């Protein structure tokens, strides 16, 4: 069922007043993530809808698997999710990964559905990740990634105060056979450019916004470690602390989306742990 919103309001109330579906069943659809506003699934009763929004109710979705994280955007070609920390994007071993969860979700909607990885985040990094639903879109995005990506913004919490409130870090990176990244000389490494701006700091930590010019493996973690400000919870490039997650979050990703021929921004709120540690 598809509805075009004709008056601003809250999602549940609007549907109760503008459909023949009972409030009880509408709540079930919301709880199950089967109601979409402009192709984005929501479970919030009080989700704000405005005139012109498109609401889709998947009334055949009782068997659809519910993902334990937020879908930021979904259409016929891509699905964008808010990846939690501690979850691998993909692995060769048979274990629960972000890829497998999304595949199960899509297949539960339609057995013909497929999913392809467009890009990845480290296991311990949370935030915005894009998957494609068809191989053509995957290749289109991957082959033009550096051209299509307009903004890559992260938020992190690192140890200590930074010497400068903002700056541009240029490192030359190299990897060991075990994929450990380290800094080296210009003639031996690949250039990695990381821009940052301090949002807030206290005696122990700094909350920092980071903008990438390049996208190298572990680039941000190595950059801040090299400055003497390792990211909190970084067990590889950091210092021993008692935190059980990496305080690095991919909160904004803007890309040129060729299917609509426009730029589109995907955003994820900073995890609650970031706010708590900075109090």
pLDDT digits (tens, 9 = 90+) for 20-31: 888 988 988 887
**C-beta separation of 241 from 269 below 8 A:** no
* Size of the chain, expressed as the number of residues it contains: 279
**In whole angstroms, what is the distance from residue 192 CA to residue 219 CA?**
7
The dotted CATH code for 149-251 is 3.30.2350.10
Query: What's the pLDDT at 31?
Result: 77
Task: Give the tens place of pLDDT for each residue, 140-159.
Answer: 999 999 999 999 999 999 99
Share of the chain above pLDDT 90, in %: 77
Residues 6+ apart with CB under 8 A from 115: 79, 99, 102, 103, 106, 131, 132, 133
- What are the domain boundaries of the chain? 1-62, 149-251
Please provide the distance, in angstroms rounded to a whole number, between the alpha carbons at the two ends of the chain. 46
pLDDT at residue 61 above 60?
Answer: no
CATH fold for domain 1-62: 3.10.290
**Nearest C-alpha neighbor of 31 from the set 16, 46, 43:** 43
């Amino acid at each position: 069922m598809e509805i075009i919103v004709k008056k601003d309001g809250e999602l549940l109330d609007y549907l109760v007043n503008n459909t023949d579906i009972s409030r009880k069943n509408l709540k079930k659809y919301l709880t199950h993530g089967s109601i979409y506003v402009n192709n984005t699934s929501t479970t919030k009763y009080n989700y704000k809808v405005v005139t012109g929004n498109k609401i889709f109710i998947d009334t055949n979705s009782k068997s659809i698997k519910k993902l334990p994280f937020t879908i930021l955007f979904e259409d016929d070609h891509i699905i964008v999710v808010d990846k939690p920390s501690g979850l691998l994007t993909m692995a060769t071993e048979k274990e629960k990964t972000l890829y497998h969860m999304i595949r199960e979700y899509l297949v539960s909607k339609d057995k013909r559905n497929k999913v392809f990885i467009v890009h990845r985040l480290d296991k311990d990094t949370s935030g915005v990740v894009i998957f494609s639903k068809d191989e053509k879109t995957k290749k289109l995005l991957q082959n033009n990634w550096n051209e299509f990506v307009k903004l890559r913004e992260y938020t992190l919490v690192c140890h200590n105060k930074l010497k400068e409130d903002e700056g541009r870090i240029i490192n030359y990176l190299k990897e060991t056979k075990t994929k450990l990244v380290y800094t080296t000389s210009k003639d031996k490494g690949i250039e990695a450019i990381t821009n940052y701006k301090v949002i807030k700091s206290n005696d122990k930590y700094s909350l920092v916004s980071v903008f990438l010019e390049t996208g190298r493996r572990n680039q941000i973690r190595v950059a801040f470690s090299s400055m003497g400000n390792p990211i909190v919870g970084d067990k590889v490039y950091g210092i021993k602390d008692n935190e059980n997650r990496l305080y690095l979050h991919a909160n904004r990703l803007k890309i040129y989306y060729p299917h609509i021929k426009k730029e589109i921004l995907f955003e994820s709120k900073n995890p609650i742990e970031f706010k708590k540690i900075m109090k």
